[in-house]
Every structure is written in structure tokens, then in C-alpha cells.
């Protein structure tokens, strides 16, 4: 971890925490986060300033007299932790009478996790990492009409430590890699942009993450497709079947399954900001969310996926669960706290973006399980439709019903065969109707493990990464449109 | 949070550790934030956050590297962190090429602003909120505390901008998604002003009790409150006014810039630093002018130009940060009396809030999003019924161009309630907008 901040060992932090614990409280936890990151970028042929980040801090939570108080501090000395614990104790007692009661977690178990990493980031020297990016970025410019290019590479190394006054101690280390490519082709007052999965080809691991989806060789096709889009006709308009690639499916899962299943939304916590949900507590166990082809799992065990972990930020052990099985809604994305508030069993999804924000119900890895069909079979089943690739626009109402998504690139499907490329493909619908029209699910050959690195939610606001995996899927009778419709 | 003396001493230390012809730029954000989150008028989460980050840019010639560093507030620890960060940046610098777009402010201007701390007592504010909620279903968040932005360099420039603000952002819910959104923010809590906000919200809540109606997709006349208009123009502020976006065909105002799109001649959009609450310097120490006119009489005006874009595109920097987004965005008011807006609307939609806007066709500046909270069907200038959520999909050239009937005369000032990473010091000042028609699709 960081050689700049030199974080203290787990044992040292635990000792300071225990020394600083105030008397008369029910329980307290210390959650520290140390993070070091590096961001490299080449834009329009120019290496942008290398940016590093060194962060370290702690959130203490105190349960006392029926209330819960929080204090976040970057001072991890014993006196700093003592001040934070006193502050949190004050908050717990000051708000106890008006608080939504949350029982102490009783965290008394221990465990650890570390990202699987085959090749350290430092195998490539900084100069070599920059040279790699310069080389890849240069390959985006395949035509004079390429007006803007960007290649970037980010890495974050994070250590989190959770210690409880009840005896528990959990230590997890994560290594994240975020590659990205962007090419914009322009002509007159028109422009089209194509990307490397709009940032979704990210994951845990080392430098080998770059090879999972061919980062080193992806640029020429991205540049060529941006130019092709400039010349392409608009997406057709009408009600038709669509086949959806994984780099669009991940947003469809995220917005119209993930967010509505977050139990804190269902309980109303997010109504002032991120929104509520059309899902109500009585739906679990019976509601037909989608067609019987739809199987959705909360799976924090997928090696290398963006939100894989062994414990959530409340210390709950993380295990795989079906949220939707054969199309029926069975389980929410609800943490232990939300479970206690609602009586509905959930998953280990209490997550915080850093030490300065408290855990809330979040997606982690939320995946659609593979089906039986090949991509050729999915396409062959469409008489007239569009194959949608790579999200570039997303919008959905606060109850997660009426959505509209735009994609970077479409391919017309005519009589079961792929035809011409079209620009500005978009589609809209209502969540439950859309998922009930799921008419085909791709097999393992088209299954892609990806992520969305920037999901915003919460008050205080938080951005966090979520993992999504999906095969290619097909939906029937969807309202499709292009730019002029 | 740290104070100015602490920051100055760190800068002095950093300057003393420079070698050769090195120059260091240091910017800072520091805050102490109390927060209380409410659901059903009860406290869901409450606490405090104390944090300070500095950004260091270590330069020699045209080569430089940057780092963000969290401070602990302990001088010995922070001095060591700064020293190690400088060493790391110096080491990295050997691996990077010259940066052709690096520019340092050659007209250093030091400034100092410390606003008076008039914040309410923590307990008093929470009591006012829970008492104000009464038996209503209130959900929202209260944040308050001091925060400061700072800049310094080894050439002697010093800037410090400190304020103490509160922001209570809340919603009264009637049932399901029928709710009234409001906010109360500022420097000094005024019970009477808060009561007026509560009363106004309560009146709208009564109107929401009527049976809602579903509207068929189509075109409807609409009045967008300042809060609703903010969701539309907020998209533009992300990516469209910056020089970089405009010179690389990324701006959604591409057609306006190219003379193929038009806004109404009454539209004047500015980065209005003089009337905002953000610092008048950016993170590299360049000063922000009082005002940058980005749209004037419906025509494209000046772009927001960061120092890097100034060099890359041969322009003059005008105080924009690296992301070239406005911090104190304003649209001038028009001739419409806000109290007469419903009467002027006649029959159509009163849109209290929009939500989740995004571009459905960026080059065409076409935006989609949802109605949210208090949106009503209006007939004869009177509210008839709440409207269930609708999706709109229309171009800014229509909404603020050919379909714009008028803007209200008194723009509203709104503190940005964003707390991503840290509390925001941005703001907007916007009028309401009356539209002859607006396109709804779902």
C-alpha cells in the first residue's frame, strides 16, 4: 500500500481503537480505508499529466442508547480516533429519540480477502505504461475525420479494515484496473463517438486485466467504427425485436433490475435523491419480473469482477444468491440493516465508496446467468430488428419504470441476418414489460464479465463501482428509434 | 478542517523542499461537515466528516506530475506526507515527456476571504427540521459546516476562500411517488424563511392529494420551474461550454456554434462568478473574471477556457477549472411575472422538477428525462390534478428556442446540494421557462 501515507498495521489500529473506546456504549466499529491510485491519459496525441492519489482515513460508528452516530476522520492517531469516537457517541445520543432504530451488528468474526492478481501493475515501468497508451491512442486515428481521441488507464489499490468492539476484524485488499479508449469522428456540425465499452471493461487484477478484452488491439476498430457511424443512416424507428450486446446489457441490468431491487430504496431512504422503486415488499417470492428465461444473481464470488469481495462494509459474509429465478423475484439487494428494518432477507451489500461515507445498500456483482442460445441463433430469430452495442445514454424515472437508453452503434437485423450499421440507436420501455419480453439468452460463449465504475447514489453522495456480467440477450416488441424520431 | 495558517505552513515546507528550478502549485479543499439524513421524518444516519485534501503539481521546465493527498491534520504527519509526495512526483517526472500545454499563472494575485460563521447550533437545526415536518413524511438531508478552498504556489501566490454554509434538501411525500421537493440553504438559518418554505410545500402537497391523471404522449405547453430548468441546462454545464469540448466536436452546442441551431434572442447564459458563492480562483491559481458570457442574445459567446485549453487552442484562459464547467451558472430573467406563470400557461403542464436527464442525440442537443415530484395538469391557469410521471424527449433548440414563450423576471438562486467526495461550492441562478410546447414520449 501507499508509501506516501504509510498506513498503520491492523494490529496497531486495533490497539488504538480499543484504547480510545468510550464507556457506556453498546458497540463501536472502526472502518479504515487506505487507497493509492494512478491515472494515465493520452489525449489527441499528448500525454496528459500523470496523476496519483494517496488517501487514508477512518469512519467510526457508535451504537449507544438506541441511537447510531458516525464520525469520519483522517487522523488515525489514538487521539484522532478518540475524538471521532466521542463525536460519534454524541451523535448517537443526540439523535436517539428521533432515530430509525438500528441494532448493533455484533460483529465478532474475522476474515480476509485479496484481489486475484496475476501480474503486478509495476511489471510495466511508468515510462512503459505511458508508451503503451501512446501507441494505442495513436491507432485510434484511422481517418482525417477523427476529431478527438483518448486513451486512459487507471489503477486503484485499496485496503479496507473493519474492526469491531465486539471482537471482529476483517481485512480486504483490492486491486482495480480501468482501461478506456474513445474516438470521436466529426464532419461539419455532426459528430459520432465510439468507445471501448464506455468504461465497462474494468475489473480486479493486475496488468492482465488489459488482455481480458483486448485493450492493446482494440483501437483501430474503435476508430473505424466512429467514422462508419458518421456515414451510417439513422436507426430505424418502430416496434421491433432487439438483440443486446453485453456492453449495453450491463446498463439495462443496472438501471432496471439493480436499482429497483435496492432495499433501502424500497424502504424510502433514497426518495429525496436517487428515487424510490416500483418494487414493493409484498412482491418478493411471487412477482413475475421477467420471462422464465431471466435468472439474475448477486454474485460476489466471480474472480476478477469489479465488485467481488468476501465481506461487505458492515462485515457480513458475502455469498451468491439468486435475486430473480426463472423470471420470479425472490430476493432484494438488502444489507443486514435493511433486513432488520424490513424483515426481508437480502444479501451482503452494505457498501461505502470510501472512509468518509457510511455504507448503504448497493449493487455489487449483479449478473444475468447464461442461457442456451448462440448469438447466431439469437439473431436468426429476428425478422426485423436492431443489434444494440455499447451504452451512451441512460435515463429512467425515479421508480425505475419508464426507461430510455441510447447506444453507440446499431446493426440492422433483416430476415435473421446482420445487415447495415446504423447510428443513434435508442429504445425505450417499461421495466417489467421489457424483461417479460426477454425471448432469448445467450450461452457462455457470449457471456462477458464487466462493470460500471461510476454509480452515483446516497445522501451524502457516493460514487462506487458495480460489477455486471451478461450474455447477449434478445427482447421482442421493443419501441426502437433513431435520431430523427 | 485546517485553517489558513496550517495551509501556509505546509506550502512553506513544500517550497523549502524544491530543488533546481522546480515550481510547485498546491490547491486545497478542507471541510468539517455535520450531516443528518431523514426518512419518514426520523433520522436514518447522522454524523460528521472532517477531511482535507491537497493537490500538488510539481513542475520543472515543461515536465510535471500531479498528486492528490489526504492530510491528517497532524503537522508532523502531514509534513512527512508532503515530503514523500514531492519525492514521488520528482521520481515520476523522469518518466514523462514535456507537456506542451502546461502554463503557469504569470500574474499572481493573492486573495483572502473568510465568511462569518453564522451557522445554527446542530441541535437547534435538527429540532427545527423535525418540528417543521410535524406528522408529514419528510425525507432528505441536512448538511452544515465550514469549508475552504485554497491555492498557493512557490512563486508567492496565496488564495484562501472560506465559508460556513448549511443546506437542507428535502421532500414531503404524500404517497408513492407523489411528493413536493424543496430546499433551504444559506449562511444563516432564518426560522421565518424556513417556515415559508414549509408552507409553500404544504400547499403543493394539498394539490397532490387529488386523483392523478395519465397523459398520452404528445406535445403540451409547459411551465418549467427554475428547478426543472436546472435539470435541462445542467446537462449543458457538464460538457458544452468548455473550449476543449467545443474545439473537439464534443459539445452538445455544436450546431449553435456552427450556425445551424438557434436559441431565443432572450437567452443569455453566463458564468456569473461575481454573484455566486464559489471561489474566484481555480485550482491552478488563475483568477475568474466576474462574468463570462457564454450565450448572448441566443448566440454562442465565449467558451470557458482552462489554462491547458488556452495553450492547446491558442485562446486566453478565463479562470475555468480543468473540467471547464461553470461553477456559478446563470440565465438572465425575462419579462414574465412568476406569479402569473400559471395564468400565462393557460392549459398545459406545470413541471416542478425534472429528473435523470441525458442526451438522446448529442449533436442535435436533444435531451430526454422524466418529470418528478410536483408536476400538475393546468387548465384555465388553475391546477387541476397531479400528473403521473412522463418522459420528455426534446431539443434545447426547441425548449429554449422556437418553443420558448418567456422567462420569469426574477431568477432563483440555488446552492448546489452535491456532496460527491466533498460539499460543493457551486450554485445556479435560473428563471422559470414557459414553453409553447414540449415533447413527451412515454
What average pLDDT score do residues B249-268 get? 95
DSSP string, B183-206: EEEESS--HHHHHHHHHHHHHHHH
Residue A7 has pLDDT above 90, yes or no: no
Task: Give residue-wise pLDDT tens across range B37-87.
Answer: 999 999 999 999 999 999 999 999 999 999 999 999 999 999 999 999 999
Averaged pLDDT score across all residues of chain B: 96
What average pLDDT score do residues B438-442 get? 96
- CB–CB contacts below 8 A, A to B: 269
Express as a percent the part of chain B with pLDDT over 70: 100
* Domain spans, chain A: 10-231, 238-481
pLDDT reported for residue A164 = 98
B323 touches chain A (CB under 8 A): no
Smallest CA–CA distance, residue A87 to chain B, in Å, is: 8
Smallest CA–CA distance, residue A460 to chain B, in Å, is: 6
Are the CB atoms for B14 and B30 separated by under 8 Å? no
Residue A219 — pLDDT band, cuts 50, 70, 90? very high
d(CA B137, CA A272): 11
Task: Give residue-wise pLDDT tens across range A86-128.
Answer: 999 999 999 999 999 899 999 999 999 999 999 999 899 999 9
d(CA B216, CA B212): 13
Contacts of residue A94 in chain B, CB cutoff 8 Å? 46, 122-123, 126
Task: Give residue-wise pLDDT tens across range A288-300.
Answer: 999 999 999 999 9
Residue B438 has pLDDT above 70, yes or no: yes
Are the CB atoms for A259 and A400 separated by under 8 Å? yes
Residue matched to cell numbers 457508535: A62
Fold of A10-231: PmbA/TldD fold (3.30.2290)
Which residues, at least 6 apart from A102, have a Cβ–Cβ distance to it below 8 Å?
A63, A68, A337, A340, A341
Residue A485 has pLDDT above 60, yes or no: no
B127 touches chain A (CB under 8 A): no
d(CA B255, CA B363): 7
Cβ-nearest to B49 among A191, A356, A406? A356
pLDDT reported for residue A483 = 82
A396 touches chain B (CB under 8 A): yes
pLDDT reported for residue A6 = 81
Residue A484 has pLDDT above 80, yes or no: no
Express as a percent the part of chain A with pLDDT over 70: 99
A47 touches chain B (CB under 8 A): yes
Express as a percent the part of chain B with pLDDT over 90: 98
Task: Give residue-wise pLDDT tens across range B211-231.
Answer: 999 999 999 999 999 999 999
pLDDT reported for residue A143 = 96
Contact (CB<8Å) B89/A52: yes
pLDDT reported for residue B238 = 86
pLDDT reported for residue A3 = 76
B143 touches chain A (CB under 8 A): yes
B441 touches chain A (CB under 8 A): yes
Write the ipTM: 0.96
What average pLDDT score do residues B407-412 get? 97
HSE-CB at A402 with a 13 A cutoff on CA atoms is 19
What average pLDDT score do residues A347-358 get? 98
For residue A446, the 8-state DSSP code is G
d(CA A116, CA A212): 14
Residue A2 — pLDDT band, cuts 50, 70, 90? low
In A215-364, the DSSP E strands lie at 238-244, 296-298, 321-325, 328-329, 350-351, 360-361
Residue A1 has pLDDT above 80, yes or no: no
CATH class, domain B4-208, is: alpha beta
Mutation test of the interface with chain A: which of B361, B394, B424, B440, choosing the one with the most A Cβ atoms within 10 A?
A: B361
Report A:355-384 residues touching B (Cβ under 8 A): 356-358
Contact (CB<8Å) A4/B88: yes
Cell of A210: 488489459
d(CA B251, CA B239): 6
* Domain spans, chain B: 4-208, 218-440
Cβ-nearest to A189 among B53, B122, B260? B260
Contact (CB<8Å) A460/B88: no
Task: Give residue-wise pLDDT tens across range A49-76.
Answer: 999 999 999 999 999 999 999 999 999 9
pTM: 0.97
Amino acid at each position: 500500500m501507499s508509501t506516501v501515507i504509510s498506513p498503520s498495521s491492523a494490529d496497531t489500529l486495533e490497539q488504538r481503537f480499543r484504547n480510545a473506546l468510550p464507556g457506556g456504549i453498546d458497540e463501536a466499529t472502526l472502518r479504515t480505508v487506505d487507497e493509492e491510485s494512478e491515472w494515465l491519459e493520452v489525449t489527441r496525441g499528448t500525454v496528459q499529466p500523470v496523476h496519483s492519489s494517496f488517501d487514508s482515513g477512518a469512519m467510526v460508528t457508535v451504537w449507544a442508547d438506541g441511537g447510531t452516530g458516525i464520525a469520519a476522520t483522517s487522523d488515525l492517531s489514538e487521539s484522532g480516533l478518540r475524538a471521532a469516537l466521542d463525536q460519534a457517541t454524541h451523535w448517537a445520543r443526540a439523535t436517539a429519540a428521533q432515530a430509525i432504530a438500528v441494532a448493533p451488528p455484533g460483529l465478532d468474526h474475522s476474515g480476509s480477502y485479496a484481489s486475484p492478481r496475476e501480474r503486478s501493475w509495476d511489471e510495466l515501468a511508468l515510462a512503459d505504461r505511458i508508451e503503451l497508451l501512446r501507441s494505442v491512442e495513436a491507432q485510434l486515428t484511422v481517418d482525417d475525420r477523427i476529431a478527438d481521441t483518448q486513451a486512459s488507464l487507471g489503477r486503484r489499490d485499496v485496503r479496507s479494515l473493519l474492526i469491531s468492539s465486539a471482537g471482529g476484524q476483517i481485512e480486504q485488499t483490492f486491486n482495480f484496473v480501468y482501461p478506456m479508449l474513445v474516438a470521436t469522428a466529426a464532419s461539419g456540425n455532426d459528430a459520432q463517438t465510439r468507445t471501448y465499452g464506455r468504461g465497462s471493461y474494468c475489473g480486479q487484477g493486475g496488468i492482465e486485466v488489459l488482455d481480458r478484452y483486448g485493450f492493446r488491439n482494440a483501437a483501430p476498430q474503435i476508430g473505424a467504427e466512429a467514422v462508419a457511424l458518421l456515414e451510417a443512416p439513422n436507426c430505424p424507428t418502430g416496434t421491433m425485436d432487439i438483440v443486446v450486446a453485453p456492453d449495453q446489457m450491463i446498463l439495462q441490468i443496472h438501471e432496471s433490475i439493480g436499482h429497483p431491487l435496492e432495499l433501502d430504496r424500497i424502504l424510502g431512504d433514497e426518495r429525496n435523491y436517487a428515487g424510490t422503486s416500483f418494487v414493493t415488499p409484498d412482491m418478493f417470492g411471487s412477482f413475475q419480473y421477467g420471462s422464465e428465461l431471466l435468472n439474475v444473481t448477486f454474485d460476489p464470488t466471480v474472480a476478477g469482477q469489479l465488485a467481488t469481495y468476501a465481506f461487505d462494509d458492515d462485515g457480513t459474509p458475502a455469498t451468491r444468491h439468486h435475486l430473480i429465478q426463472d423470471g420470479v423475484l425472490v430476493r432484494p439487494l438488502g444489507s443486514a440493516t435493511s433486513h432488520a428494518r424490513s424483515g426481508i432477507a437480502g444479501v451482503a451489500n452494505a457498501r461505502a465508496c470510501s472512509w468518509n461515507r457510511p455504507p448503504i445498500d448497493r449493487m455489487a456483482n449483479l449478473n444475468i446467468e447464461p442461457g442456451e442460445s448462440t448469438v447466431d441463433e439469437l439473431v436468426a430469430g429476428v425478422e426485423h430488428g436492431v443489434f444494440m452495442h455499447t451504452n451512451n445514454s441512460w435515463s429512467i424515472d425515479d421508480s425505475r419504470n419508464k426507461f430510455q437508453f441510447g447506444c453507440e452503434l446499431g446493426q440492422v437485423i433483416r430476415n435473421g441476418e446482420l445487415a447495415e450499421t446504423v447510428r443513434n440507436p435508442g429504445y425505450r420501455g417499461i421495466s417489467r414489460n421489457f424483461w417479460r419480453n426477454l425471448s432469448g439468452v445467450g450461452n457462455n460463449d457470449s457471456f462477458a464479465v464487466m462493470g460500471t465504475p461510476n454509480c452515483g447514489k446516497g445522501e451524502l453522495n457516493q460514487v462506487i463501482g458495480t460489477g455486471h456480467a451478461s450474455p447477449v440477450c434478445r427482447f421482442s416488441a421493443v419501441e426502437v428509434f433513431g435520431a430523427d424520431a | 478542517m485546517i485553517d489558513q495558517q496550517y495551509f501556509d505552513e505546509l506550502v512553506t515546507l513544500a517550497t523549502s523542499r524544491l530543488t533546481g528550478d522546480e515550481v510547485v502549485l498546491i490547491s486545497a479543499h478542507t471541510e468539517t461537515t455535520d450531516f443528518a439524513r431523514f426518512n419518514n421524518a426520523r433520522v436514518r444516519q447522522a454524523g460528521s466528516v472532517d477531511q482535507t485534501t491537497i493537490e500538488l503539481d510539481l513542475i520543472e521546465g515543461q515536465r510535471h506530475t500531479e498528486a492528490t493527498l489526504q492530510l491528517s491534520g497532524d503537522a508532523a504527519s502531514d509534513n512527512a506526507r508532503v515530503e514523500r509526495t514531492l519525492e514521488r512526483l520528482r521520481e515520476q517526472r523522469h518518466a514523462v515527456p514535456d507537456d506542451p500545454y502546461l502554463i503557469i499563472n504569470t500574474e499572481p494575485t493573492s486573495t483572502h476571504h473568510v465568511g462569518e460563521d453564522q451557522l445554527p447550533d446542530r441541535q437547534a437545526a435538527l429540532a427545527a427540521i423535525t418540528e417543521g415536518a410535524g406528522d408529514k413524511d419528510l425525507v432528505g438531508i441536512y448538511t452544515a459546516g465550514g469549508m475552504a478552498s485554497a491555492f498557493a504556489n512557490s512563486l508567492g501566490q496565496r488564495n484562501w476562500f472560506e465559508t460556513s454554509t448549511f443546506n437542507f434538501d428535502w421532500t414531503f411525500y404524500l404517497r408513492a411517488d407523489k411528493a413536493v421537493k424543496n430546499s433551504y440553504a444559506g449562511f444563516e438559518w432564518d426560522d421565518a424563511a424556513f417556515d415559508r418554505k414549509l408552507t409553500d410545500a404544504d400547499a403543493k402537497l394539498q394539490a397532490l392529494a387529488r386523483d392523478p391523471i395519465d397523459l398520452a404522449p404528445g406535445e403540451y405547453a409547459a411551465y418549467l420551474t427554475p428547478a426543472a430548468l436546472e435539470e435541462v441546462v445542467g446537462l449543458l454545464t457538464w460538457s458544452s461550454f468548455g473550449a476543449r469540448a467545443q474545439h473537439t466536436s464534443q459539445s452538445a452546442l455544436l450546431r449553435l456554434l456552427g450556425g445551424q441551431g438557434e436559441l431565443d434572442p432572450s437567452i443569455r447564459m453566463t458564468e456569473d462568478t461575481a454573484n455566486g458563492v464559489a471561489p474566484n480562483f481555480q485550482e491552478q491559481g488563475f483568477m475568474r473574471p466576474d462574468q463570462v458570457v457564454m450565450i448572448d442574445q441566443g448566440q454562442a459567446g465565449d467558451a470557458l477556457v482552462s489554462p491547458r485549453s488556452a495553450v492547446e487552442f491558442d485562446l486566453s484562459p478565463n479562470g475555468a477549472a480543468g473540467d471547464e464547467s461553470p461553477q456559478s451558472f446563470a440565465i438572465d430573467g425575462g419579462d414574465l411575472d412568476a406569479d402569473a406563470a400559471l395564468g400565462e400557461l393557460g392549459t398545459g403542464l406545470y413541471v416542478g422538477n425534472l429528473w435523470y436527464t441525458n442526451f438522446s442525440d448529442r449533436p442535435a442537443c436533444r435531451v430526454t428525462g422524466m418529470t418528478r415530484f410536483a408536476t400538475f395538469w393546468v387548465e384555465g391557469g388553475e391546477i387541476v390534478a397531479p400528473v403521473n410521471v412522463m418522459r420528455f424527449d426534446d431539443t434545447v433548440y426547441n425548449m429554449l428556442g422556437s418553443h420558448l414563450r418567456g422567462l420569469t423576471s426574477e431568477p432563483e438562486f440555488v446552492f448546489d446540494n452535491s456532496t460527491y467526495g466533498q460539499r460543493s461550492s457551486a450554485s445556479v441562478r435560473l428563471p422559470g421557462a414557459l414553453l409553447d410546447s414540449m415533447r413527451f414520449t412515454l
